[in-house]
Protein backbone atom coordinates (compact mmCIF):
# COMPACT_ATOMS: atom_id res chain seq x y z
CA UNK A 1 0.00 0.00 0.00
CA UNK A 2 1.37 3.38 -1.00
CA UNK A 3 2.09 5.77 1.88
CA UNK A 4 0.88 9.34 1.29
CA UNK A 5 3.42 12.19 1.31
CA UNK A 6 2.64 15.64 2.71
CA UNK A 7 4.56 18.89 2.45
CA UNK A 8 4.53 21.07 5.55
CA UNK A 9 6.51 24.34 5.80
CA UNK A 10 7.69 23.82 9.39
CA UNK A 11 10.82 22.56 11.09
CA UNK A 12 10.69 18.80 11.56
CA UNK A 13 12.64 16.57 13.95
CA UNK A 14 12.48 12.92 14.99
CA UNK A 15 10.34 12.47 18.09
CA UNK A 16 8.48 15.72 17.55
CA UNK A 17 4.68 15.95 17.62
CA UNK A 18 3.29 18.48 15.15
CA UNK A 19 -0.17 19.77 14.37
CA UNK A 20 -1.02 19.90 10.68
CA UNK A 21 -2.27 23.11 9.10
CA UNK A 22 -5.96 23.32 8.23
CA UNK A 23 -5.58 22.21 4.60
CA UNK A 24 -3.41 19.18 5.38
CA UNK A 25 -5.59 18.28 8.34
CA UNK A 26 -8.68 18.29 6.13
CA UNK A 27 -6.87 16.14 3.57
CA UNK A 28 -5.77 13.58 6.17
CA UNK A 29 -9.11 13.52 7.97
CA UNK A 30 -11.60 13.77 5.10
CA UNK A 31 -9.85 12.64 1.91
CA UNK A 32 -7.38 10.01 3.11
CA UNK A 33 -9.53 9.14 6.15
CA UNK A 34 -6.47 8.15 8.15
CA UNK A 35 -6.76 6.91 11.71
CA UNK A 36 -4.41 6.79 14.69
CA UNK A 37 -1.14 4.96 13.95
CA UNK A 38 -1.60 5.14 10.16
CA UNK A 39 1.64 5.87 8.30
CA UNK A 40 2.58 9.09 6.51
CA UNK A 41 5.67 10.70 5.04
CA UNK A 42 6.35 14.36 5.81
CA UNK A 43 8.86 16.69 4.18
CA UNK A 44 9.47 20.43 4.42
CA UNK A 45 11.21 21.02 1.10
CA UNK A 46 14.70 21.41 2.57
CA UNK A 47 15.87 17.91 1.66
CA UNK A 48 15.15 14.46 3.01
CA UNK A 49 11.89 13.25 4.47
CA UNK A 50 10.49 11.81 7.67
CA UNK A 51 8.63 8.62 8.36
CA UNK A 52 5.62 9.57 10.46
CA UNK A 53 2.34 8.32 11.82
CA UNK A 54 -0.96 9.81 12.82
CA UNK A 55 -1.05 10.45 16.56
CA UNK A 56 -4.50 11.97 16.95
CA UNK A 57 -7.42 12.90 14.70
CA UNK A 58 -10.27 15.11 15.90
CA UNK A 59 -12.69 17.49 14.22
CA UNK A 60 -10.50 20.39 15.32
CA UNK A 61 -6.97 19.10 14.84
CA UNK A 62 -4.73 16.40 13.39
CA UNK A 63 -1.49 15.60 15.22
CA UNK A 64 1.42 13.72 13.67
CA UNK A 65 4.27 11.90 15.41
CA UNK A 66 7.54 12.38 13.53
CA UNK A 67 9.69 9.30 13.12
CA UNK A 68 13.00 8.52 11.45
CA UNK A 69 14.58 10.92 8.96
CA UNK A 70 15.60 9.55 5.58
CA UNK A 71 18.33 11.22 3.54
CA UNK A 72 16.65 10.76 0.17
CA UNK A 73 16.79 12.88 -2.96
CA UNK A 74 15.46 12.50 -6.50
CA UNK A 75 16.91 15.79 -7.77
CA UNK A 76 18.50 16.07 -11.20
CA UNK A 77 22.14 17.18 -11.39
CA UNK A 78 20.96 19.73 -13.96
CA UNK A 79 19.79 23.00 -12.41
CA UNK A 80 16.97 24.29 -14.62
CA UNK A 81 15.43 27.72 -14.17
CA UNK A 82 12.20 28.29 -16.10
CA UNK A 83 10.90 31.69 -17.12
CA UNK A 84 7.28 30.93 -17.91
CA UNK A 85 5.21 33.37 -19.92
CA UNK A 86 1.88 33.51 -18.08
CA UNK A 87 -0.89 31.64 -19.88
CA UNK A 88 -4.57 31.35 -19.11
CA UNK A 89 -6.10 29.15 -16.41
CA UNK A 90 -5.53 25.43 -16.83
CA UNK A 91 -2.70 25.89 -19.32
CA UNK A 92 -0.56 27.72 -16.76
CA UNK A 93 -1.54 25.31 -14.01
CA UNK A 94 -0.51 22.35 -16.16
CA UNK A 95 2.81 23.96 -17.07
CA UNK A 96 3.68 24.62 -13.41
CA UNK A 97 2.62 21.16 -12.26
CA UNK A 98 4.48 19.23 -14.93
CA UNK A 99 7.58 21.41 -14.65
CA UNK A 100 7.90 20.32 -11.03
CA UNK A 101 7.48 16.67 -12.02
CA UNK A 102 10.17 17.12 -14.68
CA UNK A 103 12.70 18.35 -12.13
CA UNK A 104 12.71 22.13 -12.55
CA UNK A 105 14.77 23.99 -9.94
CA UNK A 106 13.00 27.36 -10.06
CA UNK A 107 10.04 28.94 -11.87
CA UNK A 108 9.32 32.61 -12.52
CA UNK A 109 5.90 33.56 -13.95
CA UNK A 110 6.51 36.30 -16.52
CA UNK A 111 4.35 39.14 -17.75
CA UNK A 112 4.87 39.65 -21.47
CA UNK A 113 3.42 41.90 -24.16
CA UNK A 114 1.00 39.25 -25.43
CA UNK A 115 -0.01 37.96 -22.01
CA UNK A 116 -3.82 37.82 -21.94
CA UNK A 117 -4.09 37.40 -18.17
CA UNK A 118 -4.85 40.59 -16.26
CA UNK A 119 -3.98 41.02 -12.58
CA UNK A 120 -6.05 43.58 -10.73
CA UNK A 121 -6.12 44.24 -6.99
CA UNK A 122 -5.70 41.07 -4.99
CA UNK A 123 -5.66 38.79 -8.03
CA UNK A 124 -1.88 38.89 -8.40
CA UNK A 125 -0.97 37.51 -4.91
CA UNK A 126 -3.94 35.14 -5.06
CA UNK A 127 -2.77 33.71 -8.36
CA UNK A 128 0.78 33.29 -7.03
CA UNK A 129 -0.53 31.42 -3.98
CA UNK A 130 -2.58 29.20 -6.30
CA UNK A 131 0.54 28.27 -8.27
CA UNK A 132 2.51 27.73 -5.06
CA UNK A 133 -0.05 25.14 -3.97
CA UNK A 134 0.36 23.41 -7.32
CA UNK A 135 4.14 23.32 -6.79
CA UNK A 136 3.69 21.78 -3.35
CA UNK A 137 1.22 19.12 -4.46
CA UNK A 138 3.34 18.20 -7.50
CA UNK A 139 6.37 17.78 -5.23
CA UNK A 140 4.33 15.53 -2.93
CA UNK A 141 3.14 13.36 -5.82
CA UNK A 142 6.48 13.11 -7.63
CA UNK A 143 8.54 12.16 -4.58
CA UNK A 144 10.67 15.29 -4.49
CA UNK A 145 12.20 16.26 -1.16
CA UNK A 146 13.33 19.72 -2.26
CA UNK A 147 10.62 22.22 -3.12
CA UNK A 148 11.24 24.14 -6.37
CA UNK A 149 11.35 27.88 -5.86
CA UNK A 150 8.40 29.81 -7.25
CA UNK A 151 9.54 33.40 -7.68
CA UNK A 152 7.30 36.44 -7.65
CA UNK A 153 5.61 37.46 -10.89
CA UNK A 154 8.01 39.61 -12.93
CA UNK A 155 8.09 41.53 -16.17
CA UNK A 156 10.11 39.84 -18.89
CA UNK A 157 12.48 42.78 -19.34
CA UNK A 158 13.45 42.73 -15.66
CA UNK A 159 13.94 38.95 -15.51
CA UNK A 160 16.15 38.31 -18.56
CA UNK A 161 19.01 40.48 -17.27
CA UNK A 162 19.32 38.45 -14.04
CA UNK A 163 19.84 34.96 -15.48
CA UNK A 164 22.94 32.75 -15.58
CA UNK A 165 24.19 29.55 -17.18
CA UNK A 166 23.17 28.44 -20.65
CA UNK A 167 20.27 30.73 -21.56
CA UNK A 168 17.83 29.72 -24.29
CA UNK A 169 14.39 30.77 -25.43
CA UNK A 170 12.02 28.71 -27.51
CA UNK A 171 11.47 29.99 -31.02
CA UNK A 172 9.79 27.87 -33.72
CA UNK A 173 11.67 29.82 -36.39
CA UNK A 174 15.16 29.42 -34.89
CA UNK A 175 17.87 27.45 -36.69
CA UNK A 176 19.71 26.17 -33.60
CA UNK A 177 18.67 22.99 -31.77
CA UNK A 178 19.31 22.15 -28.12
CA UNK A 179 21.66 19.31 -29.07
CA UNK A 180 24.05 21.85 -30.58
CA UNK A 181 24.50 23.59 -27.22
CA UNK A 182 26.17 22.71 -23.93
CA UNK A 183 25.21 23.95 -20.45
CA UNK A 184 27.61 25.93 -18.29
CA UNK A 185 28.24 24.27 -14.91
CA UNK A 186 25.06 22.20 -15.38
CA UNK A 187 22.91 25.33 -15.31
CA UNK A 188 20.21 25.99 -17.91
CA UNK A 189 17.72 28.83 -18.09
CA UNK A 190 14.68 28.23 -20.31
CA UNK A 191 12.42 31.04 -21.46
CA UNK A 192 9.01 30.21 -22.92
CA UNK A 193 6.30 32.56 -24.13
CA UNK A 194 2.55 32.91 -23.59
CA UNK A 195 -0.18 31.77 -26.01
CA UNK A 196 0.65 34.42 -28.59
CA UNK A 197 4.40 33.93 -28.40
CA UNK A 198 6.98 36.67 -27.98
CA UNK A 199 6.70 40.05 -29.65
CA UNK A 200 9.58 41.04 -31.93
CA UNK A 201 10.92 43.52 -29.38
CA UNK A 202 10.89 40.82 -26.68
CA UNK A 203 12.82 38.43 -28.89
CA UNK A 204 15.47 41.09 -29.46
CA UNK A 205 15.53 41.89 -25.75
CA UNK A 206 16.15 38.25 -24.87
CA UNK A 207 18.93 37.92 -27.44
CA UNK A 208 20.58 41.09 -26.16
CA UNK A 209 20.59 39.51 -22.68
CA UNK A 210 22.43 36.45 -24.02
CA UNK A 211 19.50 34.12 -24.69
CA UNK A 212 19.92 31.80 -27.66
CA UNK A 213 16.83 31.10 -29.79
CA UNK A 214 16.29 27.34 -30.23
CA UNK A 215 13.70 25.24 -31.98
CA UNK A 216 12.05 22.00 -30.89
CA UNK A 217 11.47 20.14 -34.15
CA UNK A 218 9.59 21.46 -37.16
CA UNK A 219 6.19 22.01 -35.58
CA UNK A 220 4.76 24.97 -33.68
CA UNK A 221 3.91 23.88 -30.13
CA UNK A 222 1.30 25.26 -27.77
CA UNK A 223 2.72 27.18 -24.84
CA UNK A 224 2.02 24.40 -22.32
CA UNK A 225 3.54 21.81 -24.66
CA UNK A 226 6.64 23.83 -25.48
CA UNK A 227 7.84 24.34 -21.91
CA UNK A 228 7.36 20.68 -20.98
CA UNK A 229 8.97 19.40 -24.16
CA UNK A 230 11.98 21.65 -23.53
CA UNK A 231 12.31 20.48 -19.94
CA UNK A 232 12.15 16.83 -21.00
CA UNK A 233 14.72 17.50 -23.74
CA UNK A 234 17.30 19.13 -21.46
CA UNK A 235 16.85 16.41 -18.86
CA UNK A 236 17.50 13.82 -21.54
CA UNK A 237 20.53 15.67 -22.93
CA UNK A 238 22.21 16.79 -19.72
CA UNK A 239 20.09 15.75 -16.74
CA UNK A 240 18.90 12.51 -15.19
CA UNK A 241 16.57 11.10 -17.85
CA UNK A 242 19.38 9.09 -19.40
CA UNK A 243 20.59 7.67 -16.08
Dmax (CA) for the chain in angstroms is 61
Question: What's the confidence (pLDDT) of residue 20?
Answer: 93
The answer to whether the beta carbons of residues 95 and 56 sit under 8 Å apart is no
CATH of the domain at 173: 3.40.1280.10
Give the residue ranges of the chain where pLDDT is below 70: 1, 121
CATH of the domain at 29: 2.40.240.20
Question: What's the confidence (pLDDT) of residue 223?
Answer: 85
Number of domains present in the structure of the chain: 2
Residues 64 and 139 in one domain: no
193, HSE (Cβ side, Cα atoms, 13 Å):
21
Question: What's the confidence (pLDDT) of residue 167?
Answer: 96
Question: What's the confidence (pLDDT) of residue 195?
Answer: 80
Residues 57 and 165 in one domain: no
Residues 94 and 192 in one domain: yes
Tell me if 199 is assigned to some domain: yes
Residues 121 and 55 in one domain: no
Question: What's the confidence (pLDDT) of residue 118?
Answer: 73
Question: What's the confidence (pLDDT) of residue 88?
Answer: 84
Residues 160 and 210 in one domain: yes
Residues 101 and 173 in one domain: yes
Residues 159 and 211 in one domain: yes
Question: What's the confidence (pLDDT) of residue 1?
Answer: 62
Residues 23 and 138 in one domain: no
**pTM for the structure as a whole:** 0.91
Quickly list DSSP for the chain: -PPPEEE--S---TT-EEEPPHHHHHIIIIII---TT-EEEEE-SBS-EEEEEEEEE-SS-EEEEEEEEE------SSEEEEEEE---HHHHHHHHHHHHHTT-SEEEEEE-TT------TTHHHHHHHHHHHHHHHHHHHHT-SBPPEEPPPEEHHHHGGG--SEEEEE-TT-S-BGGG---BTTEEEEEE--TT---HHHHHHHHHTTPEEEB-SSSPPPHHHHHHHHHHHHHHHHSSTT-
The parent domain of residue 199 ranges over 79-238
64-100 tens-digit pLDDT: 999 999 999 999 999 999 999 998 888 999 999 999 9
Amino acid sequence: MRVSRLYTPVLLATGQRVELDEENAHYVRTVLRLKNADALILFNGAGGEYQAQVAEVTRKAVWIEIGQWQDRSVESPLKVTLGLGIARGDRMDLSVQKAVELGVHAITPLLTERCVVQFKGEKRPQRWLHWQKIVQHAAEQSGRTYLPHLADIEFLQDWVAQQQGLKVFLDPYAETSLSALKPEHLQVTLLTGPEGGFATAERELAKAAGFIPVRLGQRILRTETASLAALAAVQMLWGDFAQ
